[in-house]
Amino acid sequence: MNAYKHVVQYYETDKMGITHHSNYIRWMEEARIDFLRQIGWDYARLESDGIISPVVEASCRYKKSTTFEDEIFITVAVKEYKGLKLVLAYEMKDAEGKTVATAESEHCFVDKGGKLIRLSKEFPEFDKALGDLISEE
């Protein structure tokens, strides 16, 4: 799996020139979209199949500041998946390989009407793709 690369934009920084903390959550979404594309389940496919995957929880631990034009490489791994709930782990590193943040997001799967979907029954291919990626950490 390839890491997602994000270059810190000027508008993402605060008056002190440091990336505002809220942007890391946005980067997680960018990396998650890229991750799903890499495993063959991009958002266009999910939406056309009627799958919506809302975030139900997100957390981020900041380790090192980033600034304008820093290159941030974000890896995404499936930490936990049990058919109804997906937990993704993120590690964000700078160009030198130093960890700038670690994070997690938790998701469920619902149809367009908001009803929970059990992927193993309704979308077994997607269920298998996620299950095969559970990290052993």
User: Would you name the residues annotated as active-site residues?
Assistant: 14
Q: Is 46 exposed, middle or buried (0-12, 13-18, 19+ CB in 10 A)?
A: middle
* Spatial distance between the Cα atoms of 43 and 7, rounded to a whole number of angstroms: 22
Structure tokens at 56: 């139900």
Which amino acid appears at position 34 of this protein? D
Query: Which phi and psi (to 5°) does residue 58 adopt?
Result: -145, 145
**Cβ contacts of 57 within 8 Å, gap of 6 or more:** 104, 105, 106
